Amino acid sequence: MRKSYYITTPIYYPSAKPHMGHAYSSIVADFFARFKRIQGFDVFFLTGTDEHGQKIQRSAQNANMDPQSFCDQISKTFFNLSKTLNLSNDDFIRTTENRHKKSVINLWKILEEKNEIYLSKYSGWYSVSDEAFYSEDEIEDVDNKKVSKASGSPVEWVEEESYFFKLSKWQKPLLKFYNENPNFILPESRKNEVISFVKSGLKDLSVSRKSFSWGIQVPSNKDHVIYVWLDALTNYISALNYPDKNDNLYKNFWPASLHLIGKDILRFHAIYWPAFLLAANIPPPKRVYGHGWILSNEQKMSKSKGNILDPLEIIKKYGVDSLRYYLIKEVSFGNDGNISEEKLENCINSDLANNFGNLCQRVISFNEKNINLKIPQSFKFNKEDLQILNNYKNNFDNLIDFVDNQKINEYVNFIQDQLFAANKYFNDQEPWKKKADQERLNTIVYVSLELIRKISILLYPIIPTTTLKVLDIFQIKEGDIEFNSIKNDLILKSDSKIKKISILFKKIEKND
């Protein structure tokens, strides 16, 4: 049986239209999903929208709409974004769907049966924008208003009857779990923050609200709706048809391989989620990775600062692969990353148009002029040929290791080095001077075509549309791509025809 890999994005609040931060999480998740698929894994990739809670209810009120129609409308924009980003997700879950409600109610009932939930009264600070409870020392006064220190969002005082989950009871088991699974939380710096937070003591968590109605009702008490985070986190198993533990999706894919999220929602994923699951006797996910923020001109993007880069506008102007490549390359994964349109243009010109586009163009037009768009026959590798081809064999295990440890910048660096090496090889070998030595000319062209094939496979998880165009010239279709094949040097069949290729990335003219 094939090994399985389950990757998720956060499910997005459909409170406003999607922005670059959402696009970033989704693009990176798609990179992992596509890589693991070509590595031969059975992959399930999930994304979707998180539609209950006070934040959504208020946004709907402000728009003068009922919450369900409001969610239908905005969830659609996230669904459309998943298409525009060319995500290869296997499912798109909405928390207002019945399959999800069923799953949440089941989890709640189990927690209640196991005596993990009790009724009491909550009084404390709540941020509707973060859908989070904050203790006194987590808030501060700014301009005479109480805000969360971590997110800066306003908090309001809440006092109402509420169900509580016995989180305090799970402090020790959680610490034991982190200890036994040292890579559960990545990156390392974030893991340390979480562990010291847990060590400082966990209070029981309010898991229901009474003062509004937009949510899943507590099964035994219709006056309460289930806390939106308990509801939302459950999406990761409801998409696998939980509570049916015998369902193939659940059996194959749970526990998840990787929950990819932003650093601001780490506490929910690395503390609350495993605690709920441990309490319900369900295994926790294998890994939670908290990536950084996307900043624009060193600041968080916001309408008032006028520094928003809208993913849809950027894609319209530069194409989806340019944005995908740029975000994956530019942001040091795990840290905040500063992006700008100028840097995006530089990146397109240097990496995509010059290094990748030109390599393909030069080799194929040389082939067209000299061997009539054929894969050469009769060639003999010399030491230099083998040396450049061997880079892929020698680094094969490292590349897999980079992906499995979320070291995506190392993965991109390897590609950049290989692009540089391939262009240099073609220049240094000067095939245009080898017209009297057909065998050498053939060999240089063959090696160069093999390098294009290998680099395209490496780039496929990042820029699928463009690399599929390139691989198509060799008749390699999406379902045929095998990561393993980058180790082999004789994949291209001698004497078969290759197709011509149109310009892959247009250089952006600068006016200065």
How does DSSP assign 88-103, residue by residue?
--SEEEETTSHHHHHH
Closer of 15 and 355 to ligand MSP (Cβ): 15
Closer of 262 and 319 to ligand MSP (Cβ): 262
Phi-psi region of 334 (alpha: psi -120 to 50; beta: other; left: phi over 0): left
Distance between CA atoms of residues 39 and 481, nearest Å: 9
320, two tokens: 């989806």
Q: Whose CA is closest to 463, among 299, 348, 301?
A: 348
Cβ 274 to ligand MSP, closest distance in Å?
13
- Other CB atoms within 10 Å distance of the CB of residue 142: 12
Cβ 300 to ligand MSP, closest distance in Å?
6
- Other CB atoms within 10 Å distance of the CB of residue 440: 18
299, two tokens: 């600041």
Cβ 59 to ligand MSP, closest distance in Å?
12
Distance between CA atoms of residues 56 and 212, nearest Å: 11
Indicate the burial class of 85 (C-beta count within 10 angstroms; 0-12, 13-18, 19 or more).
buried
Distance between CA atoms of residues 283 and 256, nearest Å: 9
Instruction: Using the structure block, give the residue that is written with the tokens 């080898």.
Output: 434
Instruction: Using the structure block, give the residue that is written with the tokens 């709409």.
Output: 65
Cβ 428 to ligand MSP, closest distance in Å?
42
Cβ 261 to ligand MSP, closest distance in Å?
4
Helix axis angle for 188-199 and 171-180, nearest 10°, is 150
Closer of 174 and 309 to ligand MSP (Cβ): 309
* Site residues, ligand MSP (CB under 6 A): 10-13, 21-22, 24-25, 50, 232-233, 235, 261-262, 264-265, 293-294, 301
Closer of 330 and 384 to ligand MSP (Cβ): 330
> In terms of DSSP bridges, do strands 208-209 and 294-296 run parallel, antiparallel, or are they unpaired?
unpaired
Closer of 312 and 400 to ligand MSP (Cβ): 312
Cβ 106 to ligand MSP, closest distance in Å?
17
Closer of 296 and 322 to ligand MSP (Cβ): 296
Closer of 24 and 44 to ligand MSP (Cβ): 24
Phi-psi region of 462 (alpha: psi -120 to 50; beta: other; left: phi over 0): alpha
Contacts of 356 (CB under 8 A, 6+ apart): 419, 455, 459, 504, 505
Give the phi and the psi of residue 269 in degrees, each rounded to 5. Answer: -85, -30
Cβ 301 to ligand MSP, closest distance in Å?
6
**DSSP class of 314:** H
Residue 470 C-beta-side C-alpha neighbours within 13 Å: 29
Cβ 9 to ligand MSP, closest distance in Å?
8
Helix (H, G, I), strand (E, B) or coil at 508: coil
In whole angstroms, how far apart are CA 449 and each of 362, 458, 480?
A: 11, 14, 18
Cβ 25 to ligand MSP, closest distance in Å?
5
- Continuous segment of H or E residues that includes residue 46: strand 42-49
Closer of 22 and 209 to ligand MSP (Cβ): 22
Closer of 291 and 453 to ligand MSP (Cβ): 291
Closer of 339 and 481 to ligand MSP (Cβ): 339
Cβ 293 to ligand MSP, closest distance in Å?
4
Cβ 326 to ligand MSP, closest distance in Å?
14
Taking the C-alpha atoms of 217, 219, 224 and 230 in order, what is their torsion angle to the nearest 10 degrees? -70
Closer of 93 and 449 to ligand MSP (Cβ): 93
Closer of 22 and 94 to ligand MSP (Cβ): 22
Which residue is closest to ligand MSP by CB? 262
Instruction: Using the structure block, give the residue that is written with the tokens 């409308």.
Output: 73
In whole angstroms, how far apart are CA 124 and each of 158, 288, 383?
A: 5, 28, 71
Cβ 210 to ligand MSP, closest distance in Å?
22
